[in-house]
Amino acid sequence: MFLTTGGPSHKASPDAMPKTASDLTGRSCDKPAVKVSLLTRGGLSLDRLASFLSVVDAGGITSAAEGDPVRQSQLSRQLKELEEFFGGTLIERRRGLFRLTAAGRELCEIARTALTRLDDFERRCAGKPVEVHLGAGESILVWMVLPRLGELLASEPAVVLTLHNLQSEEVMRRLRDGRLDFGILRRTPTQAGLKSVALKPVEYALFAPRNPVSTRRPLDPQELLSKVPLALLEGTGESNQALANWAEAQGVALQTRLRCTSLLQAAEAVKRLGMAAILPTWAESSFTAGSVARLELPTLQSLRAPLQLVWSERQGAVRNFLARIAKAISTSLTG
């Protein structure tokens, strides 16, 4: 998010407009004047800015200190020094409340941009690879992204890709504040300042081990689901509701025996416990060939959703090589 100053704009008259550097400084000079006002006072340093960002990212001084009382005291002191240097409150600190002020949000953006660019510059000068951060749900990372990354990593030897297992809301939050370079989401973002490109849609099917069912004739979903126990995601999500509606219409009593907190857990239940589960179709590659049956239920077609590779325009301006990486990622994941 870019911050602008409010208030009416005033157009200066031609006579009032500075024409040369000497008009600005009151003296003649051949080179632009260096702004040294920030350097004449103590309290501002890269270390303090990095500490400020660590507090912001952790959601508080205590969390950022990770139980180290010496580090907690240091963070508290550095935050106070930054506030004294800039002459304003950066973080509202009350019991049970941690919130950035408007000044804190602006400094967070400035600091993260500056430190990111300095880190990239230092890495290039030292011949080190730069780090690129991509966030998505675990099933997307494991079943969609990882199997297709070989070509991307081979084509970008100067890049280290870090994968973050995150919920969609956290992906959006980190894209906005610059902690993530890319995110993969199940919807097209509507917020200003974000760019996206469509990837392959995610589709779902019913997976079950082949052993409990006959392979001599086409599989019958009604017969399978009346005999094979189910592993479902906990809660009343769209996949559970779609399957429940289908079962009611078909007169099938579902045998739900396990509720999972992730799709990877459900896939393991198919492998190890002989259960059936609704999974993304790309999960098929994680099973031994011929070990599972995949059934396309019409009711699951409503779960089909396009995936989007998303990144921040601001982050792309700070790290101009991200446009090339975005193209490489989208090519890898749609090929």
The pLDDT of residue 94? 78
**Single pTM value for the model:** 0.78
What pLDDT sits at residue 28? 46
Both tokens assigned to 169: 């809301």
pLDDT averaged over every residue in the chain? 85
CB 256 within 8 A of CB 227: no
> What pLDDT, on the 0 to 100 scale, is given for residue 217?
57
Q: What pLDDT, on a 0 to 100 scale, did the predictor assign at position 287?
A: 93
Quote the pLDDT of residue 184.
Answer: 97
Average pLDDT over residues 174-195: 91
pLDDT for 137 equals: 94
Q: How far apart are CA 15 and CA 23, in angstroms?
A: 11
Please identify which residue in the block is written with the tokens 């490109």.
Answer: 197
Answer with the residue of higher pLDDT: 262 or 13: 262
Q: What pLDDT score was predicted for residue 212?
A: 55
Q: Hey, which residues does 230 pair with through a beta bridge?
A: 256, 276
**What is the predicted pLDDT for the residue at 97?**
77
Bridge partner list, 305 = 202
Helices (H) and strands (E) in the chain, counts: 13, 12
Q: Are strands 256-260 and 230-233 parallel, antiparallel or unpaired?
A: parallel
Q: Please determine, for residue 275, whether its predicted confidence score (pLDDT) is greater than 70.
A: yes
pLDDT tens figures, 106-146: 999 999 999 999 999 999 999 999 999 999 999 999 999 99
Domains in the chain: ranges and CATH: 38-126 (1.10.10.10), 129-200+306-334 (3.40.190.10), 204-303 (3.40.190.290)
**Burial zone of 100 (CB within 10 Å; 0-12 exposed, 13-18 middle, 19+ buried):** middle
Tell me which DSSP letter residue 305 carries. B
Inter-residue contact 204 to 304 (CB < 8 Å): yes
CA distance 209 to 279: 13
User: Does the pLDDT value for residue 17 go beyond 60?
Assistant: no
Q: Cα-flanking dihedrals φ and ψ of residue 304, to 5°? A: -60, 130
Per-residue pLDDT tens over the stretch 276-324: 999 999 999 899 988 999 998 899 998 998 899 999 999 999 999 999 9
Q: Which residue has the tokens 């997976």?
A: 207
234-268 pLDDT, tens digit each? 988 899 999 999 999 999 999 999 999 999 999 99
The amino acid occupying position 175 is L
pLDDT, tens only, 64-116? 999 999 999 999 999 999 999 999 999 997 777 788 999 999 999 999 999 99
313 and 193 Cβ atoms separated by less than 8 Å:
yes
pLDDT for 249: 92
Residue 39 has pLDDT above 90, yes or no: no
SS3 percent helix, strand, coil of the chain, rounded to 5, is 50, 20, 35
Question: Which residues of the chain form beta strands (DSSP E)?
Answer: 91-94, 97-100, 130-136, 159-165, 182-185, 194-198, 204-209, 230-233, 256-260, 277-280, 292-295, 308-312
Q: What is the pLDDT of residue 7?
A: 40
- Mean pLDDT computed over 167-189: 92
